[in-house]
Amino acid sequence: MQVFLKVWRQADAKSEGQFVTYTVENVTEDMSFFEMLDMLNNQLVLKGEEPIAFDHDCREGICGTCGLFINGRAHGPLRGITTCQLHMRSFNDGDSIVVEPWRAEAFPVIKDLIVDRTAFDRIMSAGGYISVNTGGVPDANTIPVPKPKADEAFDAAACIGCGACVATCKNSSAMLFVAAKVSHLALLPQGQVERKQRALNLIAAMDMEGFGACTNTGACEIECPKEISLVHIARLNREFLKASLI
């Protein structure tokens, strides 16, 4: 099949960007979206043009490196997957596809479709951890965790830090990302000691990085490739309130 791409091109953070259109021929259904871009890039290189820069690595939906806005949706038209897991069988012959980077003030564009998400690391360094040093910890089975709690903590810990929640939010809020970490650690006995401070510190760091406030639109949950639930945002709000009260 043949598809028409309208791709955001931007030389670097300082330059203005614009859409450029490309026609891609000989696309097959079993190609992934990225393999289609690889093919296009190969042709561009041979023609002496600059290939389209996009972020990707594992190509199996776990590293969180990839992330494109495709036809106005973070990670494309399907739910519960990352961009790298999208295949061309989700498109039809002759389709026009608009491809943009994540857009958020806290995620400046580096080039074309690549953005800078190091703000996420800085938020995590403000308290997204349990303060234990290597060695000297108790035997793993001295800390029993009820299975339902452990499972729920896992659901939150499954966040891949891709930033789709931010990109899709009209306020560019990072609440779902932060909530996932706060929830993961608040649910576990190991996380209790620093529970209050963690919620306060992470929220403060999020604000400082220029992410917006959450107004409960719920768009993030819909686009999150790991289907992190809004329940975690509710928990974060409770954690934050409780911690602020003292």
Partner 1 sequence: MVLDAKIPDGPLAEKWTRHRFDLKLVNPANKRKYNIIIVGTGLAGASAAASLAELGYNVNTFSYHESPRRAHSIAAQGGINAAKNYPNDGDSIFRLFYDTIKGGDYRSREANVYRLAEVSNAIIDQCVAQGVPFAREYGGLLDNRSFGGAQVSRTFYARGQTGQQLLLGAYSAFVRQMKSGKVKFHPRHEMLDLVLVDGHAKGIITRNLVTGEIRSHAADAVILATGGYGNVFFLSTNAMASNATAIWRAHKKGAFFANPCFTQIHPTCIPLSSDHQSKLTLMSESLRNDGRVWVPKKKGDSRSPNDIPEEERDYYLERIYPSFGNLVPRDVASRRAKEMCDTGHGVGPTGLAVYLDFKDVIARNGKQWVADKYGNLFDMYKQITGENPYDVPMRIYPAVHYTMGGLWVDYNLMSTIPGLFVLGEANFSDHGANRLGASALMQGLADGYFIIPYTIGDYLAKHPGGGTDTNQGSFKTTTQEVEEKLNQLLAVDGSQTVDEIHKKLGHILWEYVGMARNREGLEKALKLIPQLRETFWKEVKVPGTVNELNPELEKAGRVADFLELGELMARDALHREESCGGHFREEYQTEENEALRNDEQFTYVAAWEFRGPGEPAKLHKEDLIFENVELTTRSYK
Restricted to residues 141-160, the positions that interact with ligand SF4 (CB under 6 A) are: 159-160
The secondary structure of residue 21, as a DSSP letter, is E
**Least Cβ distance, residue 161 to ligand FES (angstroms):** 10
177: partner contacted, choices partner 1, ligand FES, ligand SF4, none (Cβ within 5-8 A by kind): ligand SF4
Nearest to 125 by CA among 190, 224, 204, 230: 204
The C-alpha atoms of residue 111 and residue 63 are separated, in whole angstroms, by 20
106 part of the interface to ligand SF4, by CB under 6 A? no
| Alpha-carbon separation of residue 179 from 128, 235, 236 (angstroms) | 10, 7, 5
The smaller minimum CB distance to partner 1, of residues 147 and 170, is found at: 147
Residue closest to 179 by CA, chosen among 158, 151, 210, 149 = 158
Q: Is residue 101 within 8 Å of 8, Cβ to Cβ?
A: yes
Backbone angles phi, psi at 111, to 5 degrees: -165, 140
- Number of residues this chain uses to bind ligand FES (CB under 6 A): 12
Number of residues that bind partner 1 (CB under 8 A): 76
Scanning 58-146, the segments in alpha helix (DSSP H) are: 118-125
Query: Which is nearer to ligand FES, 64 or 191 (by Cβ)?
Result: 64
Q: Which is nearer to partner 1, 162 or 214 (CB)?
A: 162
Part of the chain binding ligand FES (CB under 6 A), chosen from 54-62, 124-132, 195-203, 228-236: 54-62
Alpha-carbon Rg for the chain, nearest whole angstrom, is 20
Q: Considering only residues 98 through 137, tell me which ones interact with partner 1, judged by CB under 8 A.
A: 110-111, 114, 116-118, 120-121, 124-126, 128-135, 137
Sign, CA dihedral 21-111-207-196, equals positive
Q: What is the largest CA-CA distance in the chain?
A: 64
Q: At closest approach, how far in Å is the CB of 4 from partner 1?
A: 19
Binding residue for ligand SF4, selected from 7, 88, 219, 228, defined by CB under 6 A: 228
Residues 18-37: x where in contact with partner 1 by CB under 8 A, - otherwise, as a string: ----------xxxxx-xx--
Binding site for ligand FES (CB under 6 A): 56-59, 61-66, 82, 84
